[in-house]
Amino acid sequence: MRITDVTGGEGGAGGGLQEWAGSTRSTERTWEGGTSPAVPRRVLGTRLRLLREAQYITRAEAGEAIRVPSARIAELEHGRTGFAERDVADLLKIYGVTDKDERAVLQALADQANTPGWWQAYAGAVPSWLHTYIGLEQAASVIRTFEVQFVPGLLQTREYARAVIELVHADASETCVQRRVALRMRRQQILYGPRSPHVWAVIDEAALRRPVGGTATMRAQLRHLIAVSDLPQVTVQVMPFSAGGHAAAGGPVTLLRMPVSELPDVVYLERLTGASYLEDAADIETYRHVVDCLVTRSEPPAASREMLHRIAEEME
């Protein structure tokens, strides 16, 4: 199992040139407007990995050739960082890519991968590693999430979000809290855009009965969940106490599907003091199965709405 860890948890085809270029053009339509560099980064990173493996070159050897650590090559291939133009050009030379058209396509991807995301304006308010997750979230076509303790960030009200942030960051300044809340609210705009992802949230009943921020704030949050579940691209299910134990009882899980078939799903696991991305295909499949089981064992969407109504009424 390969796991990439980050600290400070928050709140998450080696085909020919013609085939690949066609896929790339399709991807460009997906991220038109430059809303997130995550997809071009992952597409380019995947292509560079395939090129390297085709030449039987290790990451350490590739890094030595361009005078960077092998960890830097791993970051590039996993799409977690931008690409220096010179690094891409040097890697393509090392990997034996001489076709001018293919080089042009990959260099264009590198340019798009370096486009700053809107969330860069919040640098300092949140850890730099969280920008990677936000970029993936903003680019995803499907977001499947399970939460045990809190309502998912994309479905939180401003007041509830503030209460959660103050719990997790008790020592933060008022300015920092306000910026974190503003960032969370800005993330939610993807729910109302022209290319909204399908957000499928399973929420443990405990998270809905815990009055974070007080009874009034929690009641308003429940009403908001009912309202947002009316959106065609949002599905909310409740994991009731009556279901007993379940596969993801250990903590929250988020699966993000990219809008490009060549890219695998991303599994994001959050902890109290950090978060992890699972990268092995077997691990991704395991968590996909876990989420499928959660959906099956939870109350259906209509019954979940009724539960949300009942819990809100109990807080009157």
DSSP helix/strand/coil, 22 = helix
* Residues 5 and 270: beta-carbon distance below 8 Å: no
Answer yes or no: is pLDDT of 263 > 60: yes
Domain holding 79: CATH number? 1.10.260.40
Is 191 in the same domain as 72?
A: no
Closest by CA to 40, choosing from 192, 259, 256, is 259
Identify whether 231 is part of a domain.
Answer: yes
Lowest mean pLDDT segment, chosen from 27-36, 134-143, 192-201, 300-309: 27-36
Cα 148 from Cα 272, distance rounded (Å): 13
Identify whether 19 is part of a domain.
Answer: no
Element housing 133 (H / E): helix 130-139
Mean pLDDT of 14-41: 47
Phi-psi region of 124 (alpha: psi -120 to 50; beta: other; left: phi over 0): left
Q: How far is CA 307 from the centre of its chain?
A: 28
Is 134 in the same domain as 50?
A: no
Is 141 in the same domain as 95?
A: no
Q: At what angle do helices 70-77 and 59-66 cross, to 10 degrees?
A: 110
Identify whether 1 is part of a domain.
Answer: no
Is 57 in the same domain as 202?
A: no
Cα 261 from Cα 240, distance rounded (Å): 34
**pLDDT value at position 249?**
63
What is the pairing mode between strands 253-257 and 142-147? Answer: antiparallel
Identify whether 94 is part of a domain.
Answer: yes
Identify whether 181 is part of a domain.
Answer: yes
**pLDDT value at position 159?**
98
**pLDDT value at position 285?**
94
Domain span holding position 142: 127-314
CA dihedral 170, 175, 176, 182 (to 10 degrees): 110
Q: How many CB atoms lie within 10 A of CB 235?
A: 17
Identify whether 3 is part of a domain.
Answer: no
Cα 43 from Cα 77, distance rounded (Å): 9
E-strand spans in the chain? 3-7, 142-147, 198-204, 234-239, 253-257, 266-270, 274-278
Burial class (CB in 10 A: 0-12, 13-18, 19+), 236: buried
Cα 271 from Cα 273, distance rounded (Å): 5
**pLDDT value at position 91?**
94
pLDDT tens, position by position, 221-241:
999 999 999 999 999 999 999
Is 152 in the same domain as 86?
A: no
Mean pLDDT of 38-49: 89
Mean pLDDT of 103-120: 86
Place of tokens 């300015």: 175
Identify whether 12 is part of a domain.
Answer: no
Instruction: Give percent of the chain above pLDDT 70.
Output: 86
Place of tokens 């969407």: 301
Please give the structure tokens belonging to residue 51: 């090129």
Is 189 in the same domain as 98?
A: no
Domain holding 158: CATH number? 3.30.870
**pLDDT value at position 274?**
66
Q: For the chain, what is the domain count?
A: 2
155-to-1, 24, 107, 229 alpha-carbon distances in Å = 32, 32, 37, 9
Q: Which residue has the higher pLDDT, 191 or 3?
A: 191
225-to-23, 151, 190, 203 alpha-carbon distances in Å = 37, 9, 16, 11
Cα 225 from Cα 146, distance rounded (Å): 15
Please give the structure tokens belonging to residue 5: 């860890």
Is 138 in the same domain as 108?
A: no
Answer yes or no: is pLDDT of 42 > 50: yes
Is 54 in the same domain as 167?
A: no
Cα 125 from Cα 253, distance rounded (Å): 24
**Domain stops at, among 77, 94, 116:** 116
Is 155 in the same domain as 243?
A: yes
Is 165 in the same domain as 110?
A: no
Is 108 in the same domain as 242?
A: no
Q: Which residue has the higher pLDDT, 197 or 3?
A: 197
- Calculate the average pLDDT of the chain: 85
Cα 278 from Cα 284, distance rounded (Å): 7
**Domain stops at, among 84, 116, 148:** 116
Q: How many CB atoms lie within 10 A of CB 53?
A: 14
Identify whether 99 is part of a domain.
Answer: yes
Mean pLDDT of 153-178: 94
**pLDDT value at position 202?**
97
Measured in Å, how far apart are the chain's first and last C-alpha atoms?
Answer: 48
**pLDDT value at position 35?**
55
pTM here is: 0.81
Is 238 in the same domain as 144?
A: yes
**pLDDT value at position 83?**
83
**Domain stops at, among 90, 116, 142:** 116
Mean pLDDT of 107-131: 83
